[in-house]
Amino acid sequence: MIIIMSQSATREDIDNVEKKLSEYGFKTHPIYGEVKTVIGAIGDKRLLNMESLITMPGVENIVPIMKPYKLASREFKQVPTIIEVGDARIGSEEIVVMAGPCAVEDETSFLEIAIKVREAGAKILRGGAFKPRTSPYSFQGLEEEGLKIMAHAREVTGLKLVTEVVDTRDVELVAKYTDIIQIGARNMQNFRLLQEAGMSGKPVLLKRGLAATIEEWLMAAEYIVSSGNSNVILCERGIRTYENATRNTLDLSAIPVVKELSIFR
Amino acid sequence: MIIIMSQSATREDIDNVEKKLSEYGFKTHPIYGEVKTVIGAIGDKRLLNMESLITMPGVENIVPIMKPYKLASREFKQVPTIIEVGDARIGSEEIVVMAGPCAVEDETSFLEIAIKVREAGAKILRGGAFKPRTSPYSFQGLEEEGLKIMAHAREVTGLKLVTEVVDTRDVELVAKYTDIIQIGARNMQNFRLLQEAGMSGKPVLLKRGLAATIEEWLMAAEYIVSSGNSNVILCERGIRTYENATRNTLDLSAIPVVKELSIFR
Amino acid sequence: MIIIMSQSATREDIDNVEKKLSEYGFKTHPIYGEVKTVIGAIGDKRLLNMESLITMPGVENIVPIMKPYKLASREFKQVPTIIEVGDARIGSEEIVVMAGPCAVEDETSFLEIAIKVREAGAKILRGGAFKPRTSPYSFQGLEEEGLKIMAHAREVTGLKLVTEVVDTRDVELVAKYTDIIQIGARNMQNFRLLQEAGMSGKPVLLKRGLAATIEEWLMAAEYIVSSGNSNVILCERGIRTYENATRNTLDLSAIPVVKELSIFR
Amino acid sequence: MIIIMSQSATREDIDNVEKKLSEYGFKTHPIYGEVKTVIGAIGDKRLLNMESLITMPGVENIVPIMKPYKLASREFKQVPTIIEVGDARIGSEEIVVMAGPCAVEDETSFLEIAIKVREAGAKILRGGAFKPRTSPYSFQGLEEEGLKIMAHAREVTGLKLVTEVVDTRDVELVAKYTDIIQIGARNMQNFRLLQEAGMSGKPVLLKRGLAATIEEWLMAAEYIVSSGNSNVILCERGIRTYENATRNTLDLSAIPVVKELSIFR
């Protein structure tokens, strides 16, 4: 990382920063500009309490050099992930379509939709049995009953399933029925849920949070990967902006950025 | 609510919308403008599937008239909430200060801080035992050990406690130690956690989500209130904007808005 | 428009609003709900001082029914605009590519680029002679010298020209050389410049402002159209959001929205 | 500045970047990390075409060290600006209130307001003679007639004047009547207008753009200062965010940031 010292930093300030960095095993490389000094520091950032560094006298700013996500990063693993679910190869050249209704409402209508979804060429059937609703008065999903309906539709159609989980206590139950676990946008930084989903062993479809940066999204993926599960599917679903002519603003450019930065497709 | 029909809507479209609304017990009041027709509809919106209404031919837009939150709304309850925690009266004219470190790190340092916090005039001691960290590699908190340290500091200083819970499975444990349960910004729409926190019986400090509208924030509060607990403390902690000279943008104007709209202070 | 009265509005408040609306020639249609009253009002909003209406006792909110842009709206004109520039038909099924460097730097390099642009299939050559630079210390463009270089490249390649104007005083000069006048994102609400560009008679390429809503963008187009020039080309160039992994966030969904709402393609 | 080389950068890439920097008079200081190399570069950035640098093979990112604004920066001038307008000292400890209506509508009402404004303790009278309206159909201001009414109110009340200018062609006229020239939010990056306002010799009140970063705002101020006029008054008027319960989001924290970074108060 690079520590930028303020213009008013004294020689003593600079020495103190170097000393502190040395104590934590960093090698330091000061560069004295005409107006400001910057200090390059090589070492393991995880050992360091960054807040105690940035509040030292004379420190203006700290610029990280390495990405904060490790296992998810193309810097550490060159080959992108391909996830096989049934005969779908997610992350390969193939475009895998996942479709279905927002919520599972009843067996008959869900089956009817499932058949149309298969006819339309999708390979994965989506449906919500646990729904994260903005209002406590809205229908919250059929829960296990909904999962059973989905499993039945899988039997009938041969489609694989993706469904959302919203509570750490339900991960085991949901994993029993589904082929892919979905983490919704509102739970993208529900870190305990990410870990539980990761430990389930099932592929995890991770929706981007409403106002999540690409870096935060990849850090959320890192939680899953660091639980021992690299089968993460990133889902760009639009972000929140000032524009409300549309419900969300699809951040199309995020897709090539994510492909360049991470092992995910 | 008001249904705005598009300019190209036919007489038949208008009749169909009125018919559908009548079926659900609404009284309708069409207003025929020179270019467009609007339909006023009086009834209980919860009985209606709004999506099936907005997708009817000729419907351009639907404008709600009533606020979506009920129990939390000044429309339904005139008297604002005052929450007593020890001798602090949160929501009264008194300014109650809550202070303390981000994470509880160890007993000695925490106690030292607690004493200073009390000397500085605060009545509530804050500290994190469960930390929602962006990185899986950062310190995640001392968990129950941290809660014990906090409880000890309460004994010594007489300060009351506020601490965060991040998992439904920990609510009972946290409630055993703390005086106020904190829901962090990242979990503002973790609806299961809101319900569990509500059911704990403890006052709940609800931080505004990173990109939450005031309406969503009040809907989150509604989850807690509808669990039978109206002791909600709203915490404006800044929102995410394009500006990154500061970490968050404090939305100061949200405070009078919330006071006008809701029973919370 | 619809006037929503607050829950605490008295009968007298409602009467006063109706009376005021009548004075301005509106026909009013009150709808008395169980909790709130709304008033439908039919008439010409332009005659009314909206601020004096919204500040009347008991008024909670006003919901407009008609779009604020008139000439630019699909509500008023069904046939979308097609603009002919040379043999390019902008707004037709044809994809017309406009390409070229940010700034015109010198004749030789610009001509070289122009030839490559034509070879690559573009029909319009872009280049900046007046540059709106964030820093006063950056190169501000070759001004008329740059326009002459562009005109020479048009002669050599047969490509048509698009270039930006940043000052009302330069519109005449720029219009003398270019085939399409460009209004940059930073000047989207420089209303005087919009009017001057409109009056030049040249087609106007109107870039969306950094943080402009679709409605504001169409209102800016309305300024040009109301100057007697309906040859407006809308350019979605990305909006400002909290995400800074990319310079702007391309709002792809704005394109179908604009096509539905306006006469522009 | 600091050039961060990507992980895949070769030794040759690094040498080429160093060579290029040397050609432009920079002294370079490479730091070889275990995974990546960074190059510290000391010299005058204005001599360099940054785009040609960032597109060189192996370059991942460039981090500037010095602020892009010079004359406006506390890095270059320690003493903050105090602007005297009549007996008001803007930028001193005194809170100077500026008040008045949005638009000047007629002499009688404006004079009446002016007297109340003075009684309420304000020292500067605000009013719009040229209004930047979102809609071409709204009242655009009384223009010179409005300026005359303002000047008359100054005579009567002794208050000083601030009024907006929206077109380079009107700066001279507006400067003839007003004591402070206002640049509105929509014109914050109308760089020609900034220069003309700067050259008028009058103090300039510069409103922050709707979606302007603090850095862009200070760069806009730099345009004025570099025109030879350091009497700039920065006006935080709220920024555009996703929240629309309020018209703008007041960015209160911007004020201490600006005070720390710039010579303005």
- Which residues have C-beta within 8 Å of that of residue A163, sequence separation ≥ 6? A126, A127, A128, A129, A130, A146, A147, A150, A174, A177, A178, A180, A181, A182
Total beta-carbon pairs less than 8 A apart between chain B and chain D:
57
C190–D166 CB contact, under 8 Å = yes
Residue A181, pLDDT > 90, answer yes
Nearest to D253 among B213, B215, B246 (CB): B246
Q: Tell which of D208, D213, D241 to mutate to test the B interface (max B CBs under 10 Å).
A: D241
- CB contact under 8 Å between A257 and C245, yes or no, is yes
Please give the residue of chain B at the shortest CA–CA distance from A213.
B240
The whole-number pLDDT of residue D218 equals 96
Q: Spell out the residues 6+ positions from residue A208 whose beta carbon is closer than 8 angstroms to its own.
A: A185, A188, A217, A234, A235, A236, A237, A239, A251, A254
In this prediction, residue C138 carries a pLDDT of 84
Mean pLDDT of B232-260: 95
Binary contact (A2, D38; C-beta < 8 A): yes
Class of domain C83-261 (CATH, top level): alpha beta
Which residues in chain A are contacts of C250 at CB distance < 8 A? 251-253
Element holding C225 (H helix, E strand) = helix C214-225
Q: At what angle do helices D144-157 and D107-119 cross, to 10 degrees?
A: 40
- CB atoms A213 and C249 under 8 Å: no
Task: Name the band, by pLDDT with cuts 50, 70 and 90, for residue B139.
Answer: confident
D99-148 confidence digits (pLDDT tens): 999 999 999 999 999 999 999 999 999 999 999 988 898 888 999 999 99
| Structure confidence at residue A34 as a pLDDT band (50, 70, 90) | confident
User: Is the CB of residue B12 less than 8 Å away from at least one CB of chain C?
Assistant: no
**Scanning every residue of chain A, which has its alpha carbon at the shortest distance from the alpha carbon of B102?**
A51
Residue of D nearest to B243 (CA): D213
Could you give the CA distance from residue C97 to residue C74 in angstroms, rounded to a whole number? 25
Asked if C241 and A239 come within 8 Å (Cβ–Cβ), the reply is yes
Question: D137 — contact with chain B (CB < 8 Å)?
Answer: no
Neighbouring CB atoms inside 10 A of C212's CB total 24
pLDDT at A159 over 90: yes
Q: Which residue of D has its CA nearest to C188?
A: D186
Within 8 A of D242 by CB-CB distance, chain B residues are 211, 213, 239
Please report the pLDDT score of residue C103 as a whole number. 93
CB-CB: which of B215, B243, B257 is closest to D251?
B243
Q: What angle do CA D28, D30, D35 make, to 5 degrees?
A: 155
Verify whether the Cβ–Cβ distance A136 to B169 is below 8 Å.
no
Provide mean pLDDT across the span B172-201: 97
Partners of D70 on chain C (C-beta within 8 Å) are: 137
Is C257 near chain A, with CB under 8 Å?
yes
Residue of D nearest to A37 (CA): D65
Burial (CB count <10 Å: 0-12, 13-18, 19+), residue B174 = buried
Residues 6+ away with beta carbon under 8 Å from B11 = none
Cα–Cα distance, D237 to D207 (Å, whole number): 7
Burial class (CB in 10 A: 0-12, 13-18, 19+), A62: middle
d(CA D84, CA D95): 13
Contact between chains at D252 and B252 (C-beta distance less than 8 A): yes
- Of C66 and D215, the structure prediction assigns the larger pLDDT to D215
Q: What is the pLDDT of residue A64?
A: 87
Q: Which residue of B has its CA nearest to A69?
A: B135
Chain C residues whose beta carbon lies within 8 Å of the beta carbon of residue A252: 250, 252
Angstroms from B114 CA to nearest CA on chain A? 20
Residue ranges per structural domain of chain A = 2-63, 83-261
Which of A68, A136, A192 is nearest residue B167 as measured by Cβ atoms? A192
Q: What are phi and psi of C90, to 5 degrees?
A: -75, 125
Q: Taking residues C1-5, report their average pLDDT.
A: 92
**Between residues 203 and 242 of chain C, which touch chain A (CB distance below 8 Å)?**
211, 213-215, 239, 241-242
Arithmetic mean of pLDDT, A107-115: 97
Q: Which residue of C has its CA nearest to B32?
A: C42
Q: How sure is the predictor about C137, in pLDDT bands with cuts at 50, 70 and 90? A: confident
From A249's Cα to the closest Cα of chain C, the distance in A is: 6
Residue scoring higher pLDDT (D73 or D206): D206
Question: Which residues of chain B does C33 touch, with a Cβ-Cβ cutoff of 8 Å?
Answer: 42, 65
What band does B84 get if pLDDT is binned at 50, 70 and 90? Answer: very high
pLDDT tens-digit readout, B54-75: 889 999 999 888 888 888 888 7
Among D68, D69, D65, smallest CA distance to D221 is for: D69
A contacts of D38 (beta carbons < 8 Å): 2, 40, 65
A33: confidence class by pLDDT, cuts 50, 70, 90: confident
Instruction: Compare all CA atoms of chain D with the CA of B217 and give the residue at the minimum distance.
Output: D243
Q: Measured between alpha carbons, how far is B167 from B190 in angstroms, rounded to an integer?
A: 9
Half-sphere exposure of B115 (CA within 13 A, CB side): 6
pLDDT of residue B74: 81
Region A91-120 average pLDDT: 96
Chain C residues 38-97 with CB within 8 Å of chain B: 38, 40, 42, 63, 65-66, 75
Question: Of B188-192, C208-212, C218-222, D54-58, which gets the smallest average pLDDT?
Answer: D54-58
Q: Output the pLDDT for position A18.
A: 95
pLDDT band at A163 (very low <50, low <70, confident <90, very high): very high
Q: Is B261 on the interface with C (CB under 8 A)?
A: no
Judge whether C263 and C80 are in contact, CB under 8 Å. Answer: yes
Q: List CB contacts (< 8 A) between B250 and chain D.
A: 251-253
Task: Test B213 with D257 for CB contact under 8 angstroms.
Answer: no
Place of tokens 């008959």: A108
**C-alpha distances in angstroms, C52 versus A100, A151, B230, C20, C23?**
49, 60, 38, 10, 13
Inter-chain contact C244–B241, Cβ cutoff 8 Å?
Answer: no
- Residues B102-134: tens digit of each pLDDT: 999 999 999 999 999 999 999 999 999 999 988
Average pLDDT over residues A161-182: 98
Neighbour subunits, C (≥3 Cβ pairs < 8 A): A, B, D
Torsion sign over Cα D147, D148, D151, D156 = negative
Q: Determine, for residues B250 and D252 on separate chains, whether the beta-carbon distance falls below 8 Å.
A: yes
Structure token pair of residue D212: 């302007």
Of B33, B65, B242, the CB nearest to C38: B65
Which pLDDT band holds residue D80 (cuts at 50, 70, 90)? confident
Chain position carrying tokens 């592929």: A203
**CATH topology for the C2-63 domain:** Alpha-Beta Plaits (3.30.70)
Percent of chain C residues topping a pLDDT of 90: 78
Helix A144-157, helix A107-119: angle, nearest 10? 40
Q: How far is C232 from chain B (nearest CA, A)?
A: 24
The single residue listed with the structure tokens 């470190």 is B101
Task: Round to whole Å and give the CA distance between A98 and A160.
Answer: 9
Question: Between these two residues, B35 and B237, which has the higher pLDDT value?
Answer: B237
d(CA B91, CA B232): 10
- Closest-CA residue of chain D to B240: D241
- Confidence class of residue B77 from pLDDT cuts 50, 70 and 90? confident
Distance CA B241, CA A107 (A): 43
Per-residue pLDDT, averaged over A235-251, amounts to: 95
Tell me the chain D residues in contact with residue C229 when contact means C-beta distances shorter than 8 Å.
none
Statement: residue D86 has pLDDT above 90: yes
Residue the block writes with tokens 């991960």: A171
Q: How many CB pairs under 8 A join A and D?
A: 44
Q: How would you classify the pairing of strands C204-207 and C232-235?
A: parallel
Cβ of B136 and A222 within 8 Å?
Answer: yes
Provide, rounded to the nearest whole percent, the portion of chain D with pLDDT above 70: 100
**Is the model's pLDDT at D77 over the cut of 80?**
no
User: 3-class DSSP state for residue C16?
Assistant: helix
Q: Chain B contact for A189, CB < 8 A? A: yes
B34 band by pLDDT with thresholds 50, 70 and 90: confident
Per-residue pLDDT at B117:
98
Neighbours of A (≥3 Cβ pairs closer than 8 A)? B, C, D
Q: pLDDT grade, residue B44 (50/70/90)?
A: confident
Asked if pLDDT for residue D75 goes beyond 90, the answer is no
Is 90 exceeded by the pLDDT of residue C178? yes
Q: Residue B60, Cβ neighbours under 10 Å: how many?
A: 15
3-state secondary structure labels for all residues of chain B: CEEEECCCCCHHHHHHHHHHHHHCCCEEEEEECCCCEEEEEECCHHHCCHHHHHCCCCEEEEECCCCCCCCCECCCCCCCCCEEECCEEECCCCCCCEECCCECCCHHHHHHHHHHHHHCCCCEEECECCCCCCCCCCCCCCCHHHHHHHHHHHHHHCCEEEEECCCHHHHHHHHHHCCEEEECHHHCCCHHHHHHHHHCCCCEEEECCCCCCHHHHHHHHHHHHHCCCCCEEEECCCECCCCCCCCCECECCHHHHHHHHECCC
Q: Please report how many Cα atoms fall inside a 13 Å half-sphere around the Cα of residue C28, on the Cβ side.
A: 20
Residues of A in contact with D34 (CB under 8 A): 42
For residue B38, report the phi and psi dihedrals to the nearest 5 degrees: -120, 150
Residue C49 burial (CB < 10 Å; 0-12/13-18/19+)?
A: exposed
Q: How confident is the model at residue A77 (pLDDT cuts 50, 70, 90)?
A: confident
CB-based burial of residue B222 (10 Å sphere; 0-12 exposed, 13-18 middle, 19+ buried)?
buried
Burial of D23 (0-12, 13-18, 19+ CB in 10 A): exposed
> Strand D2-5 to strand C232-235: parallel, antiparallel, or no bridges (unpaired)?
unpaired
pLDDT tier at D45 (50, 70, 90 boundaries)? confident
Amino acid at D156: V
- Assess whether pLDDT exceeds 90 at residue A94: yes
Given CB atoms, is A249 within the 8 Å cutoff of chain C? yes
Whether residue C246 is predicted with pLDDT greater than 90 in this model: the reply is yes
Among A35, A40, A75, whose Cβ lies nearest the Cβ of D40?
Answer: A40
More confident of the two residues A261 and D34: A261
Which long-range contacts does D73-79 make (Cβ < 8 Å, 24+ apart)?
A: D73/D218, D73/D261, D73/D262, D73/D263, D74/D260, D74/D261, D74/D262, D74/D263, D75/A7, D75/A35, D77/D263, D79/D263
Cβ contact A38–D42 (<8 Å): no
Q: Grade residue C163 by pLDDT with cuts at 50, 70 and 90.
A: very high
